[in-house]
Structure 1
Amino acid sequence: MERFAPESSRVAEVTRIAPRETEFVRDLRGPNRFLVARSAFTSDTVLEAEKERVFSACWIYVGHESEIPEPGDFVAREVAGRPVLFTRNREGRCRVLLNSCSHRGAEVCRKRRGNQRRFRCFYHSWSFSNDGELVSMPDEDGFPEGFRKQDHGLATPHAVDSYRGFVFATFNPAQEPLLDYLAEARFYLDLTADQAPEAGMAVTPGTHEYSMRSNWKLLAENSSDGYHAIPVHKTYLDVQRSKGDQIAGSTEKDWKQSHAFDLGNGHTVTVKQAPWGRPIARWKPSMGESTRDTVERSYRKLELAHGPERAELIANLDFNMLIFPNLVINNIMAVIIRTFYPTAPGHMNVSAWSLAPSDEPPDARRVRNESFLSFLGPAGLATPDDNEALESCQRGYAARRGEGWNDVSRGMDKADPPNWDELQMRTFWRRWDELMGGKA
């Protein structure tokens, strides 16, 4: 496992990170403790500051290039609370445009997806190209002297960039380049993209959209938290055991070679070899004997493309990664892309997609979809459990009206904490506190 561990992971946090005590975070030494103020989950003032200091400052995930394969393709969605058009222009370049007319502000597109050369605002019929240029409007001569269409294109983020098909945007003119921002997270994006050595990875049709009555940072924590898996997801594990998988129901026995890593810039990952099957190349009895050949053929394909060592890593390394602040890629029994954004301190909207090899044959896709929906789908055997746990936390904060502190101290004195410790949460909170202006 050392071959993909960041250098910083070899030294315990309490040695390499200075203590600090701010309004929301207490990163203490002697004794070692890490506490987060519960007011960070309940305050309207905190949320308003997050919109500017976190979501408007960082690179934010927009979509995957596979969602708009042809010139003229577009998807309309909200990205960090902003309505945007994720589209591909005539030259085939991905663009991100704000879905708000430069005239009076109405949406220029009210469809969720499609293919078109122009976006026309229904209010006054201003029309824009899929590059965002204003190309026509009624009664152009009625505007005063000096009016120029080229000055009234659709607004765009400060920058748009992509890595291995994952497209990001930032509204921060001071933001570092995307490659630098992603830091060590690129290694895990590479592992994800390399599952499809020939045709590339693609988002499968359909989007999961749902909401939760909890603070968005609780989902950021939960997405890579191994400590809750055994008690909260007992039903899923029991079902897999009943189908023949070797599941002990113990963190130490079920999560082999378990680690948690700080990837830089607030990004975190937990890695392990889990007891469930993975449709990309790890067959388990719960998947059914009829699927064994399909999964084993997938593994042989990885070996031919990448060699035995990397094929083993792609096939058998389970990881849960958070790219700060709100992109989750869980590469476990299937691959999920998940984003979330707060609408209130105690409410968020969640969007999720399944990612798969674009040339995956129908029998392999069926195995993947069953694996995906059984755990990761919003009506599966696990995601509803997570949702209830987070909503229960939010309800519990009312007991002291947002006062008190959460303890996030597990494993902070270890050089190599496993995924059921909490290095990953502390990594998130240190970056969050820095952006929010926390001063020791």
Structure 2
Amino acid sequence: MQRPRDKGVMLTRGQPGFDAAVLRTSFNGSDPGVRPKVLVQANDVFDVLSAVKRARREGLKISVCSGGHSWMQNHLREGGLLIDMSRLNRIEVDVEARLAVVGPGCWSVDLDKRLRRDDLFFPIAHAVDVCLGGYLLQGGFGWNSRVLGLACENVVGLDVVTAQGELVHASEHEHPDLFWAALGAGPGFFGVVVRYHLKVHPRPKVTALAMQVFRMRHLEEVFLWAEKVGPQVPRSVEFQLLLTRKATGIFSPGIEVIAPVLTHSWRQAREDTAFLSKGPLRAKASLAPPLLPVSTSLMSYLAAKRIFPPGMRWSVDNMWTDAPMSQILPGLQRIADTMPPMPSHVLMISWHPPEARQDMAFSVEGKHYLALYGEWRDQADDARYGNWATDNMKAMEHLSKGIQLADENLGKRQARFLSDAHFDRIQRIRAEYDPQGLFQTWKGH
């Protein structure tokens, strides 16, 4: 994705440049063939207020995007009015209060770099160009989230333009129901967030990366070991397993065992990643570099360049699961055998959430997070790869607790993304704040 450098304008379907401007709002290189009636490239809060009021007058359904990283392009709907928030990207930091105020179009990496100047930190997304708008609404599990909580748990307030065309502040004490719903509603949120008020933290003194690479023939023993050791892995470590057609160092199908660690000293970092360096499978690793200092920004850049390049066509789906690895493995083997070429990949995070979260809409997670990312450039391959992720997740639905909205595929496969009680509560709050249904909701709903 490219940061917008020009002044935002309002375009109507049929105008020169309209189609190109609409498609630039999406990270996914596929054209779904649908178009809004009106595109508003907001420059400020006043543009948003004006757009919402126009939608009310003309009876246009509203969809919103900030960075366009929705794989299923949830914001691209037929008819209606699309508000592009990518130009609202200002960052303000109060160092003494440890608070940041950011626009929804702010790139994750830009917030990380700005906070670094004051030795502060926020659990940003793993890819550089994921904007904070959608990331925070869907929950946001990013760097150091196992210590600091989900990104949305670090939101202390939001400035929201409601369906009534009013600008309100939502927090635990003002419009608490609206605040509750924003923390996990994702693309089903019924308002336009124009500013986020974030709690920021002291920056970890050490950010480093431990890694081992195994050939695909070791898939079963690697994942069984990961299941065994996962509950004991320190929360300073984000324990990931990545399946790829061209694994680092071996340039052939393999499993990358990745352990980013954020902590207060090198000694602690080495202790926290010892489960990997001293693990029983180390001798079978084709590559086992030493613990290396790597910043969160650099890790995000590397991920973006290698496995999230722009212009790709995508087939993405996911699940949270508590199932035993012995039951997951047949599906994993099938996924590995059928995975599209690079940069397609499969990610499993040994997540192991805390026993309790704060009271918020976000309500579905599990011990393991499994996400499939199929990628290709040629439209001619759509029939070959377009349902790869969906079909494999359908085959494993009996093992699933639900999905994460970050990698949802609700346009093709309906799945549980909130607890039943929280879904019902969101619908009641929606009826209060958006009784005419001005805002688009989740695809398929």
User: Which protein is richer in strand relative to its size?
Assistant: 1
Higher Cα Rg, which structure: 1
TM superposition score normalised by structure 2: 0.29
Q: Which has the higher contact order (CA 8 A, sep 6+)?
A: 1
The two structures have a TM-score, normalised by structure 1, of 0.29
